[in-house]
Chain A
Amino acid sequence: MRLLKPIITINTLILGMVSTPLFAQQSAVNMTAGVTGISNTVYNLHMTILYICIAIAVIVFGIMFWSLYQHRKSKGAVAAKFHESTTVEIIWTAIPIVILIGMAIPSTQALILMEDTTEADITIQITGSQWKWHYRYFDHDLEFYSRSTTSQAEINNEIEKQPHYLKEVDNPLVLPINKKVRFLITADDVIHSWWVPAFAVKKDANPGFINEAWTKIDTPGTYRGQCAELCGKDHGFMPIVVTALEPEAFDGWLAQAQVTAKQQLQAEQQSLTQTMDMPTMMSLGEEVYNRTCTACHQASGQGIPGAFPALKNSPVALGDVNKHINIVLHGVPGTAMAAFAKQLTKKELAAVITYERNAWGNNTGDIVQPSQIDAALTGNNQ
């Protein structure tokens, strides 16, 4: 530690000069110092070790290049005969060990701090699924999905890309600042990894298991990250956006969000009593389909042969409607077909199934009603 102190001091000095205005936000070439105590610690650790590596590199490469220049044959150098020295070997084994111990001490301290998820003020359950995030506020009866809002047209270079291209979502995770937030992280299908660089939090979301992480944000703002573990075709299109608010503003947001959620639930109940007509269901269904299903089954309904089955002219879309409903609600275990029962409202589910049964020349003429979905979910359809 004593050995490291001068380096850390110099490091802090240099950082003090360059970091504040320049590196406060994400740098284009370096790790962000972030907006939490931990992320600052990690950043300082990173810079310290980088400087140590640079110092070693300068010394070793310096000696090497000096030797290459000075001891070249064209300059008349004659080879010396020395070799083997136990003393030298011991010295260059011992010095690195001392340096490594110097690195290990602050790293251990930081790690112990990072793994301490106790005494959290608020707990969020984060669930990854192909290719979106789901957030659930423990003890607050609030949960929602968070999906990318970058349009296919932007991705395909048909229109100009927005500034937050691929790093924007419909419902950001909203968190209070200055509170210890605990994350419980899991996944529905494959392994994902929840990463927000500004918090220095990256934790894998493993299906069937729950991981823990925590953060305590210092500054209000919007922080962006994305899935960090290869999770299939649209791994690159699974952004994370966190909005950090002052605690009072957060409480206000939470209350409002709960009211909105309740209203949606009522609208859902109401929809069960309604009988929808074909044009309404087709237009809503198309919208839901394009948002939810096209990644695999494609806008044309033709799927990707060998990977994702076609819906156009498929036995499912043309056959028994209850079987079709069942697949959409509960997914197909052992395949990429997810269970959509909790991801969409009953009206949306009815609409998208109606759409699948009537688009692309499927023309079954079936209109699936929200009440049918409700019946299927509560087991009353037999």
Chain B
Amino acid sequence: MSEIELKDNADQPILDVPAIKTFTDHHSAPHGYKRWLFSTNHKDIGSLYLWFSLTMFFIGGAMAMIIRAELFQPGLQLIEPNFFNQMTTSHGLIMVFGAVMPAFVGLANWMLPLMIGAPDMALPRMNNWSFWILPFAFSLLLLSLFTEGGGPNFGWTFYPPLSTQFSPDSTAMFVFSVHLMGISSIMGAINVIVTILNMRAPGMTLMKMPMFVWTWLITAFLLIAVMPVLAGAVTMILTDKYFGTSFFDAAGGGDPVLFQHIFWFFGHPEVYIMILPSFGIISAIIPTFARKQLFGYHSMVYATASIAILSFTVWAHHMFTVGLPLAAELFFMYCTMLISVPTGVKIFNWVSTLWRGSITFEVPMLFSLAFIVLFTIGGFSGLMLAITPADFQYHDTYFVVAHFHYVLVTGAVFSIMAAAYYWLPKWTGYMFNENLGKWHFWCSLISVNILFFPMHFLGLAGMPRRIPDYALQFADINKIVSIGGFMFGLSQLIFVAVVIMAVRGGKKAPAKPWEGAEGLEWTVPSPAPYHTFDTPPEVK
């Protein structure tokens, strides 16, 4: 941390007096478990979300380790195919709904009020509820693995009839668990929108909001638009399986492909829900460590909005082999290709921000730079997948697995890591161990590429996804991938160590630990007091 110079004014927050209040002089001061269970404080709830997300990241990660161990060599060694399918399904569901999404909601809870100068989220009681639904939702999902017949084994996309006529008895638990996750997400999204639209500090117009606030505002609208669609999809699965309806059963006049349209109408905006907040994080961190303003703030806002709107017109690119008419295949191919334009604008803007900056390489910056490069690689494979004739070869192979892990792990997860390192001093009041952080970064960077890059080769060479055993020509690369997987899994333990150490103590962090940082969150002391911005700051 020696290269960080503290400016004299960094320790002079706009409101030093009210901000330093302890929480005993404001309402009551619950301690112990009651503080967390009944909390309506955005910082406590943000922490709950983040710890929950980290726990799920390790549970989902453990499942990935089981998958990679089984795939270490050809043949069935450790687990049965049916259990393998339960692992791939649960891994997907837990990572998407349990790790990535709650992490972003946690970051939103912590940072949105601090960034817009609000005292808390607009709907604190609902905020508590949105969080506390999640442990129940995931307990239900995880418990289903221990029922007779096992947990969900039909893939996280749960295509019928596999998920209806042919699914285990525990499918109802899966359905209700997804319902709960959806309710939690919708409430979280409503809270974000109401907070951003109503509680900004005087003078903070929409076009003065930090990019993270903008991207979350747009994400929240996406959530409200598509989570009800997911709820509808799982409900139809429920009634098809248990109540004799035939939404997705041709024998009763239904259509299994209809499900895929509904699911991906949710599913494609969903992948942007998992990446737009990342764009906001990267747009905060890159200018800080380049010590230079974001190159094109306005175009970044417009690009984010364009991506969100286009995300509703590309869903069928997940379904090119399902037997769509030619016109539909062409339409969805063109729309999907078009999405690379606003995404490109973002990449170009970050690179231009770096250009002629004064760049330092603290841990959040390292993760952000890795994000730009590796997310772009995921973007390239995405563009290749958009090309329908080629997609016929890529579809449902490890090429797709490689693609979405590049955008979700080295994209979303790396940005979450970057955000955690960036704001950890603000949350804990202590600087984290920079050396360990760098170890975490370099181990993750190397192992994640050993893990996911060779998957491109596997897919191109013809290995389908979701298989517990494979032909001999795939053996060598699978071994490398598994080794990368174990390394990546172990590397994340360093992160836990860094976080726990930073929570327990260390070098005191100043209000603004990063020289080039901008924004209201750096005007309050570190750690951020329990209540901040009781009086709104003025934004000029």
Contact = CB atoms under 8 A, between A and B. Distances in A.
Interface in A28-53: 28-32, 38, 41-42, 45-46, 49-50, 53
A79 B473 contact: no
26 contacts: A30-B461, A50-B384, A64-B372, A64-B373, A67-B354, A68-B359, A68-B369, A79-B357, A81-B292, A82-B356, A83-B293, A83-B297, A89-B296, A93-B344, A166-B74, A190-B162, A202-B321, A202-B395, A208-B249, A230-B154, A232-B153, A232-B162, A236-B468, A236-B469, A305-B149, A333-B251
A68 B388 CA distance: 37
Given A83-B293, A92-B344, A307-B149, 4 more contacts: A28-B457, A53-B380, A89-B345, A235-B85
A39 to B, nearest CB: 8
A103 B389 CA distance: 12
B135 interface: no
A73 B291 contact: yes
Interface string A193-206: 10101001111101
A227 B329 contact: no
A64 B341 contact: no
A255 interface: no
Contacts of A197: 393, 462
B460 A29 contact: yes
Contact of B341 (A73, A100, A189, A229): A100
B82 A334 contact: no
A207 B291 contact: no
Interface residues of B, number: 100
B109 to A, nearest CB: 30
Identify which of B149, B322, B393 gathers the most chain A CB atoms within 10 Å of its CB: B393
A166 B473 CA distance: 11
Interface in B144-191: 147-150, 153-155, 159, 161-162, 165-166, 168-170
A100 B337 contact: yes
Contacts of B464: 195, 226-228, 236
B334 interface: yes
B255 interface: yes
A253 interface: no
Interface residue tally on A, bucketed by range: 35 or more
B85 A46 contact: no
A374 B48 CA distance: 66
B347 A42 contact: no
A118 interface: no
B396 interface: yes
Given A26-B462, A30-B460, A63-B355, A200 B154 contact: no
Interface string B360-380: 110000000100110011001
A72 B168 CA distance: 57
B261 interface: no
A202 B384 contact: no
B112 interface: no
Contacts of A93: 341, 344-345
A156 B388 CA distance: 38
Contact of B390 (A45, A157, A334): A45
B149 A64 contact: no
Interface stretch (A8-16, A109-117, A273-281, A282-290): A109-117
B461 A206 contact: no
Given A53-B380, A71-B356, A77-B359, A107 B388 contact: yes
B466 interface: yes
Contacts of A235: 81, 85, 466-467
Interface string A211-238: 1100000000000111111111111110
B389 A42 contact: yes
User: When A and B form their complex, which 10 residue pairs have the shortest distance between CB atoms, in order from nearest?
Assistant: A208-B250, A306-B149, A236-B467, A306-B148, A211-B323, A80-B356, A53-B380, A29-B457, A110-B389, A79-B358
Contact of A156 (B75, B256, B338, B340): B75
A78 B358 contact: yes
Contacts, number: 303
Contacts of A335: 165-166
A202 B322 CA distance: 9
Given A71-B356, A104-B333, A204 B149 contact: no
Interface string B442-468: 000000000000000100111011111
Contact of A230 (B85, B290, B470): B85
B233 to A, nearest CB: 16
Contact of B393 (A61, A67, A103, A202): A202
A303 to B, nearest CB: 10
Given A67-B356, A209-B257, A232 B166 contact: yes
Contacts of A175: none
Contacts of A201: 392
Interface in B66-97: 74-77, 81-82, 85
Interface in B412-426: none
Contacts of A202: 321, 392-393, 395-396
A96 interface: yes
Given A60-B351, A228-B396, A46 B390 contact: yes
A336 B166 contact: yes
Contacts of B161: 189-191, 207
B326 A111 contact: yes
Contacts of B460: 27, 29-31
Contacts of A204: 321-323
A366 interface: no
Contacts of B257: 206, 209
A130 to B, nearest CB: 8
Identify which of A32, A227, A230 gathers the most chain B CB atoms within 10 Å of its CB: A230
B391 to A, nearest CB: 9
Interface in B468-488: 468-473, 476-477
